[in-house]
Chain A
Amino acid sequence: MSEKTNSVRHDYLRHDKKFPHVWCPGCGNGIVLGSLIRAIDKLGLGKDELVLASGIGCSGRMPVYVDFNTLHTTHGRALTFATGIKLAKPALTVITVMGDGDATAIGGNHFIHAARRNIDLTAIIINNQIYGMTGGQYSPTTPYGSFASTAAWGNIEHAFPIAELAVTAGASFVARGTVYHAAMLDGLLARGIAKKGFSVIEVMSNCHTQYGRRNQMNDPVTMMRHFKEKAVSVDRAAKMSAEEMNDRFTIGVLADVDKPNYMEEYQKIRERAQQH
């Protein structure tokens, strides 16, 4: 099993050029990267037709490691660049990977508008509930009451539920997974990438270095256990009260709807303009 998995990974990685990576030992980003590669392999996508674009932060370094067309953009703006790429060359499969601060703070406006516009892009948002690279400042997803380097006395802001935000903003496909549920994540990523329209996959991930350390979850294993305990499948959550769901979150597919995507609509406009 592990040998097969490794060979798949090696085929898609710039393994001879860019390793070791910059992430801390035990970081969830590596699990997301592995999952992404298995999903791409499962879909049979060629490396030349794939684009992986990122913003800034620990997640922003992911494109360096994969042997696709890769792009490391500015903070929060990955979706804007991805929009240009997809519209200019619709045959490309364009995936963005962002962090929680990246996608929902500085890039929050781009995020909701990309969802509303429904361009055929996939947005993977690695939610580690903190700004990791800059030293553990609180992000829009840092839970109320928890601690961060800029919330030394406890966080008094309220967290965005990213997946639910994406559903409301109109994304065609929305799912949430965790780095603990890696096999499930493979499937969610594959479905999101295959979906025509804007897809969002939020991945709850561990930053034990910056978040866990300040919140009694000092190591990756403790954080994994936390995700295992707090994650509730969408089906089971439907049968639970709001009180029971209080500090838990749903995992699975939150939305999967079919609606016209931007490129299909724009092609119709072109045809109309050309007949005019």
Chain B
Amino acid sequence: MSEKNGQRRLLQGNEAIVEGALAAGCRFFAGYPITPASEIAEMMSLRLPALNGTFIQMEDEIAGMGAIIGASLAGVKSLTATSGPGFSLMQENLGFACAAEVPCVVVNVMRVGPSTGLSTSPAQGDVMQARWGTHGDHPVIVLAVSTVVDCFATTVQAFNLAEKYRVPVIVLSDEIVAHTRETVVLPDPADIMVIDRIHPGVPPEWYIPYEDNSRGVPAMAAMGSGYRHHVTGLIHDVRGFPTERPEEVDAFIRRLFRKITNGFAEIQITRSVMMEDAEIAVIAYGAVSRSALRAVRLARSRGIRAGLLQLITLFPFPRKAVEGVLRQCRRVLVPEMNMGQMIREVKRVNLATEIVRHNRVDGQFITPAEIYDHLLSM
């Protein structure tokens, strides 16, 4: 791709995602055809062989997700791309990637659902599925793209975050962004920051595959690199072997969350436009943020002090940035192509009421006594 870099190119969003993935070092794609995401697979099948990478069209999206996890475990950065129905099928193995901490990137080009829905129309209905689609308590990173340039840059970012935090990263696109053609200038590969997972720095006999550290992200050894270990979707101890001991289960689940919490400052990406003196604001993401930007500019031209907070990161929810907006503005509009999914997250950033949580993640039941004691202590 080097010969074309630094040049102006007319690309559609799906093509820019491919360029971003390749620039980030992705060398494996497995997937299944689906509108409006198929161009990503088509471009990957064309581009990967020349880069010594591998493309495979699997029998369904379940298999596509399984194959990219396998490739990533073998040390190769991996991508799959789909739309709503396929994204539903991927949830099972997506959970495996969360539990076993396998870096990978999943692009969901959203279309109208539920079910087969409107296969060629855009929507933002999969936001909560991206966050909570697979069963069980799990952390995940969800990014949203709004322009063709975004598709490139955010896909690079998605791979970097996946590698750095050993977590699947979901990129939410939609039919508008996917099929819009825009002129973009792709950066020179030398100017792109690419992050790779950290390999163990100790000899194999000292390697503890899921050992905690200050970042909460264990070093990751590829299969075949001499660091033989066990990988499972069962809750496991630091050596990777199944455990049911409450203290080990608790430590495991809490570390999964802590590693993301530790990275909030870096992971929670937002873009503020004309927010400095804004009195009213729009909070938007994906293609809708383009309409929002236009609307804000219009308002400004009429003397209304409006601003835009665009969410690039949807999850972990960029609470700090949203809180700032809520503190500053009288009214906030949250436009979305769904019945209201992110607005609930925005409403949750509610400073008037103290909301206290009580959690257990060690496989043990929360007893009435625990809750009673906590209530009394509040």
Contacts and interface: CB of A to CB of B under 8 A. Distances in A.
Interface in A141-196: none
A69 B229 contact: yes
A172 B92 CA distance: 30
Interface size class of B (residues with CB under 8 A): 35 or more
Contacts of A70: 228-231
Interface in B30-68: 30, 49-50, 52, 54, 56, 58-60, 62-68
B341 to A, nearest CB: 27
B164 to A, nearest CB: 20
Interface stretch (B74-82, B111-119, B175-183, B331-339): B74-82
B50 A91 contact: no
Given A80-B70, A85-B70, A18 B241 contact: yes
A89 B224 contact: yes
Q: From DSSP, what is the main secondary structure of chain B's interface residues?
A: mixed
Q: From DSSP, what is the main secondary structure of chain A's interface residues?
A: helix
Nearest to B225: A48
Given A49-B224, A81-B69, A84-B67, A72 B234 contact: yes
Given A77-B66, A80-B62, A87 B234 contact: no
Interface string B94-116: 00100000000000000000000
A195 B71 CA distance: 22
Contacts of A272: 49
B73 A71 contact: yes
A82 interface: yes
A214 interface: no
A218 to B, nearest CB: 30
B224 A91 contact: yes
A1 interface: no
A222 interface: no
B66 A80 contact: yes
A88 B75 contact: yes
Interface string A57-93: 0000001100111111110010111111111110110
Contacts of A266: 49, 54
Contacts of B222: 89
Given A74-B93, A77-B63, A273-B49, A85 B74 contact: yes
B96 to A, nearest CB: 5
A274 interface: yes
Contacts of B52: 270
